[in-house]
Amino acid sequence: MKLSYQAPFESLEGPNFMTTSNLLNAASGCVQLALGETDPTHRGKAIVGSMILLCFAGGALLGGVCTLQLPAYPLLPVVVLAAAGMPLTMRERRSSLKTRLAPD
């Protein structure tokens, strides 16, 4: 009798499991780096996954603090960050389109 085991996270796909795959990529990239792998792909996975995890944790912490400190306006930081991020995103999008449409 042949027994095989497949990690449950390797079979998940699609946008519903993006967080799970980000955590998986961060963990696998960090483990590969700890084992001495020199492939830059693993370093990239570890860095990107760790940054996503840190941003998520920072946002959760900011949301918790603002909910406690600003009970009348708990979503004020979200509105401020979104308002500040929109022009930056639009500027980046515009420059990306200019680069793509520029003649070679």
HEC-encoded secondary structure of the chain: CCCCCCCHHHHCCCHHHHHHHHHHHHHHHHHHHHCCCCCHHHHHHHHHHHHHHHHHHHHHHHHHHHHHHCCCCCCHHHHHHHHHHHHHHHHHHHHHHHHHHCCC
How confident is the model at residue 4, as a pLDDT?
Answer: 46
CB atoms under 10 Å from CB of 30, counted, come to 17
Q: Give 3's pLDDT tier (boundaries 50, 70, 90).
A: very low
Q: Give 53's pLDDT tier (boundaries 50, 70, 90).
A: confident
Give the global pTM.
0.54
